[in-house]
């Protein structure tokens, strides 16, 4: 009934004693499904009936993770004041990681107002929300994160910054913005700069853009580091969640 977006049917079943925490084989309960689909009114009903807002699925993700990943703004607005905003899933990713990676600017804007882990290093690559947004070329999200205080020169496991990742993917607009904020000639653990990665992946325009940038920060700072219901199959539901170079 949750998947059919039928609030009355959900309320009826709850009145008959339906289990709020019943789960499918992927660990999804009614709250997870409703949040991922953006069915705020059903999420509100479930919370009012006592559903655990921070319950996790098999991936360690909460309802807020799922709403943020899908960009369900209204549902995020409701959950952000009731749930643990910085809870990390089984890979270390927070709701902010997921919203940033998918480019959901409004969800990111909401989450940064509550998060205390703007620079949490998630997954095995130790990437922050800014890394993920930069790699995906979500310039608006990158700007929101930087304005909120995210560390623009944070490094992932390979020693790469968001600028490295954006350049390696050829995201010119994102690179142009980050080049005004970050250390342009920082080298990763293999000795490559952002310009090197851009050139190596065939993004010559981005490489030339970076070559024209002054050393150091765009804000004219100096640093010694410059050189260095309807039933769907469990894996097919449209509101579910199922590399880098």
Q: According to the model, what pLDDT value does residue 18 have?
A: 67
In whole angstroms, how far apart are CA 127 and each of 56, 91, 118, 195, 200? 22, 11, 11, 20, 22
Please check whether residue 155 lies inside any domain of the structure.
Answer: no
The answer to whether 184 and 216 are in contact (CB under 8 A) is: yes
Specify the pTM.
0.85
Number of domains in the chain: 1
Range of the domain at 19: 1-61
Handedness of CA 57, 127, 242, 75 (dihedral sign): positive
Residue 192 within a domain: no
pLDDT of residue 242: 44
Give the CATH number, domain containing residue 56: 1.25.40.20
94 falls within a domain = no
Going by C-beta distance under 8 Å and a sequence separation of 6 or more, which residues neighbour residue 129? 94, 96, 97, 99, 100, 101, 108, 118, 119, 120, 145, 150
Q: What is the pLDDT of residue 20?
A: 79
Residue 81 resides in a domain: no
- C-alpha to C-alpha distance for 28 and 55, rounded to whole angstroms: 9
Contacts of 77 (CB under 8 A, 6+ apart): 110
Q: Is residue 143 part of a domain?
A: no
Q: Would you say residue 44 lies in a domain?
A: yes
Residue 30 lies in a domain: yes
Q: Tell me, what's the pLDDT at 19?
A: 73
Which residues of the chain have a pLDDT value below 70? 1-6, 9, 11-14, 16, 18, 215-245
Domain-located, residue 46: yes
| pLDDT at position 15 | 73
């Amino acid at each position: 009934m949750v998947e059919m977006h039928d609030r009355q049917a959900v309320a009826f079943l709850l009145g008959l004693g339906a289990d709020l925490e019943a789960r499918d084989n992927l660990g999804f309960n009614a709250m997870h499904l409703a949040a991922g689909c953006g069915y705020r009114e059903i999420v509100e009903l479930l919370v009012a009936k006592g559903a655990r807002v921070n319950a996790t699925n098999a991936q360690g993700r909460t309802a807020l993770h799922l709403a943020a990943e899908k960009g369900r703004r209204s549902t995020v607005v409701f959950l952000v004041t009731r749930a643990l905003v910085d809870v990390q899933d089984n890979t270390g990713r927070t709701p902010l990681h997921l919203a940033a990676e998918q480019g959901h600017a409004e969800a990111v804007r909401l989450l940064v107002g509550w998060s205390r882990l703007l620079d949490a290093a998630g997954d095995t690559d130790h990437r922050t929300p800014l890394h993920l947004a930069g790699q995906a070329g979500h310039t608006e999200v990158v700007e929101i994160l930087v304005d909120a205080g995210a560390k623009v020169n944070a490094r992932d496991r390979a020693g790469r910054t968001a600028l490295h990742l954006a350049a390696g993917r050829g995201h010119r607009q994102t690179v142009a913005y980050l080049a005004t904020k970050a250390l342009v000639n920082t080298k990763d653990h293999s000795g490559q700069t952002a310009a090197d990665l851009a050139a190596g992946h065939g993004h010559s325009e981005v490489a030339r853009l970076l070559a024209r940038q002054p050393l150091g920060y765009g804000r004219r700072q100096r640093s010694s580091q410059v050189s260095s219901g309807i039933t769907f199959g469990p894996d097919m539901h449209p509101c579910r969640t199922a590399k880098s170079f």
